Chains A and B, each alone.
Chain A
Amino acid sequence: GIQVEQSPPDLILQEGANSTLRCNFSDSVNNLQWFHQNPWGQLINLFYIPSGTKQNGRLSATTVATERYSLLYISSSQTTDSGVYFCAVNSGGGADGLTFGKGTHLIIQP
């Protein structure tokens, strides 16, 4: 099956800093999503981005499908950005579940 690798596994930053999270995948994808898992376990969908670039406030994401990677950018980090960020993909249609990377654990210090 498709493999998903995320880097870095852990990241500690000061409030106000910018960060870039990376997701590499081993095969072509029909679906790629970035999620933020909060301390209560809820998965918040940040971006649905199988290709191209999107922005939502301080967050933006880019997927280069031909090179099989995606990047999540967080600017002007806030303490509330802390948590685990997951990249998840699938190469099939809506009848297939997602394969998740191991996540990036982000800690924003005040």
Chain B
Amino acid sequence: GAVVSQHPSRVICKSGTSVKIECRSLDFQATTMFWYRQFPKQSLMLMATSNEGSKATYEQGVEKDKFLINHASLTLSTLTVTSAHPEDSSFYICSARDIGRRYGYTFGSGTRLTVV
């Protein structure tokens, strides 16, 4: 139980273009989802909290206009990296928690973004 699906798993895009990443909770509803970023050989850092039906909250230093988050339903959150640049290349992972079960947080399989 408590499965989170993330797509795509890997994307290569040209500098200046936008990329959308989807995160779905498959067997539970999630009013809150989380987006993390991981640079090579580093830990995961929370970028933003996605709230169903309202604006996302961003961690300090994360540009909300560059990383657009939409959480339009109880099972889907999307992260759009706008006007991507090579420094945005990273591993992006989403997470959600099924508060009805004591499993803690479940993570998607991640998206490896490369901007060329």
The residues of A with any CB-CB pair to B shorter than 8 Å are 31, 33, 35, 40-43, 45, 48, 86, 88, 94-103
On B, residues with C-beta under 8 Å from A are 32, 34, 36, 38, 42-46, 49, 91, 93, 95, 97, 99, 102-107, 109-110, 112
Chain A CB within 10 A, most for which of B34, B105, B110: B105
Given A41-B112, A48-B102, 4 further pairs, Cβ under 8 A: A33-B105, A45-B104, A94-B97, A95-B49
Task: Evaluate whether A45 and B49 lie within 8 angstroms (CB atoms) in the complex, with A94-B97, A101-B43, A102-B43 already known.
Answer: no
Shortest beta-carbon distance, B103 to chain A, in Å? 6
- A33 (CB) vs chain B CBs: closest residue: B104
Check A94–B99 contact: CB distance below 8 A.
Answer: yes
Partner of B46, one of A95, A99, A102, A103: A99
Whether B109 lies near A42 (C-beta < 8 A) is yes
